[in-house]
Amino acid sequence: MNRLQSSLKNPLTMTILNTIKSSTAGFKTVSHCIFDMDGLLLDTETLYTLVTQNILDEYSPGKIYTWELKVTLMGLQKEDVSKKIVEIFDLPITWEEYAELAQAQIEDLMKNCRLMPDTEKIYEKAVENIAKKYNRPYPWDVRMKILGTIERRTCEIAVKELKLPCTVDDFQRQFVQITLKNLENVYLFKGAERLVRHLHENNVPICLATSSSKESVEVKTTHHKELFNLFHHKVMGSSDPEVKEGKPAPDIFLVAAKRFPDSPKPDDVCLVFEDAPNGCKAARSAGMQVVMVPDSHVSENQKQDATVVYKSLLDFKPEDFGLPPYKDN
């Protein structure tokens, strides 16, 4: 029995077993992992939405940054996003001015960005549940008005915009009760830190491939430098001269793969982790398998480029792709 246990712990045996498990799961075995950052590891997409809406409120009052537009821009580089927003909303500023305004607001907000807690969804669900109690829908345009507001303002907007038959005080009492109950059970890291540390500890080469600029990444990771230093390298699309085209073009992932010490063939051994449809398209164009952890608003049609889709990184099983399993499995 001891000899059997010893053989099962042998690295070669473990590699063979993980390869068999990967084949059984229907995925190709991989050896290198590439991570997107915004919306996957860091809870920044909510902040991007807030900043965009703030600028629209100032330069084009009444216009809403809808989900349908947002999802088409997720994963794009700064210049591309800025140009599209200025054009679509016919803003009376240049794309350079828009980018400067957005960056200034983002820097203030990003200093406090967190490793993927799900608090925004908890607040959203609380409003939705109360609205449902009064047989009212909770449409996207109202959500955009509420996003990022302080608690009292959230309640005032909800009661007014949804035409609820209750006072703001009544709504706030219900809102606080629901959110406090759910915040006690929130997954603080949403599986991100656990996965990154696990792969690093098991000598799986990992890197970051984000459309953000170097300056933006430095601000966003201010409170998480130790964790992000575990990545072998970081490819920052908006400031990397080798990334000629942003997502959904494959450039960023091809560059990321090339910078591993062994320069692996992307279509053989690289696995990408993404949240955005544009990112998934880029990964597949690079010939890579891609694990998608999308926003709940992403449609089924927008998930078609993903190899597999999970609600959370907590659902990911490394052994399905031939990687070392978690020890607590």
Point out the residues that are catalytic.
36, 38
Residue pair 274/283 in contact (Cβ under 8 Å)? The answer is yes
What are 206's strand-pairing partners?
A: 33
Residue pair 15/109 in contact (Cβ under 8 Å)? The answer is no
Please name the helix (run of DSSP H) or strand (run of DSSP E) that holds residue 236, with its range, or none: strand 234-236
Q: 327 Cβ partners below 8 Å, 6+ apart?
A: none
Please enumerate, as own/partner, the contacts of 103-107 that have beta carbons within 8 Å and a separation of 24 or more: 103/78, 103/215, 103/216, 105/51, 105/54, 105/55, 106/47, 106/48, 106/51, 106/216, 106/219, 107/219
* C-alpha distance across the termini of the chain, in Å: 21
As a whole number of angstroms, the distance between CA 123 and CA 154 comes to: 9
As a whole number of angstroms, the distance between CA 282 and CA 276 comes to: 10
Number of Cβ atoms within 10 Å of the Cβ of 143: 21
Q: Whose CA is closest to 217, among 34, 70, 36? A: 36
- E-strand ranges in 30-181 read 32-35
